A and B are shown apart, each in its own frame.
Chain A
């Protein structure tokens, strides 16, 4: 299957700091999705991106669809303790495709 390289693998930050993480692929993707997963729970969809260059926000979260269509970025501003969790990127090679390829996740720890 497709490899999505997500970095960093883990982050330890102070409450209030901003966070950046990214996801890269050797293939061109049609759609990028960002999910957050709490321990023992299913992933929750945060942001969906459909066009190269698209920048979309959801509260303190902002994600961008890279112009090469091979990467995507997620930023979290002014982190709070409940931001703790694992963030996954996921991509679809084409619209309507069934196989969603996932990155290996970024584990975020926020220190109060």
Chain B
């Protein structure tokens, strides 16, 4: 089955620790994205990547970092510099034209 997978589904970390969220897609999509969702709000773009080894900051990139070493993978690291990291994190990808974005199931991060 083609799709986007995110792991883990739930993640708990202590304050001050970095944590890396996984995102993998087998849709052969060029572009991948990370969004953050807070309760009662829409999604906000953290980082995006259009091709391997290239990525750009979104609206709320501070305290996050990414890498894109393979087309299929776009991991997100939430660093200790992120002041309010507890949130639902969503990964998405899109193909040629980049208009329609398809989402993974999400990772809920809770920082204690």
Contacts and interface: CB of A to CB of B under 8 A. Distances in A.
Interface of A: 1, 4, 6, 31, 33, 35, 40-45, 48, 50, 88, 90, 92, 95-100, 102-105
Contacts of B92: 42
B90 interface: yes
B42 A45 contact: no
Given A31-B99, A98-B48, A103-B42, A43 B31 contact: no
Task: Please indicate which of the listed interface residues A6, A35, A95, A98 has the most CB atoms of chain B within 10 Å of its own CB.
Answer: A98
Given A95-B97, A98-B56, A88 B102 contact: no
Nearest to B91: A42
Contacts of B44: 1, 102
Contacts of A1: 44-45, 59
A41 B105 contact: yes
Interface string B37-53: 00011111100101000
Contacts of B101: 33, 45, 90, 100
Contacts of A50: 99
Nearest to A33: B100
B103 interface: yes
Contacts of A44: 103
Nearest to B101: A100
A112 to B, nearest CB: 25
A40 B106 contact: yes
The 10 closest A-B pairs by CB, nearest first: A102-B42, A42-B103, A102-B43, A98-B48, A96-B98, A42-B106, A1-B59, A104-B42, A42-B105, A43-B103
Contacts of B106: 40-42
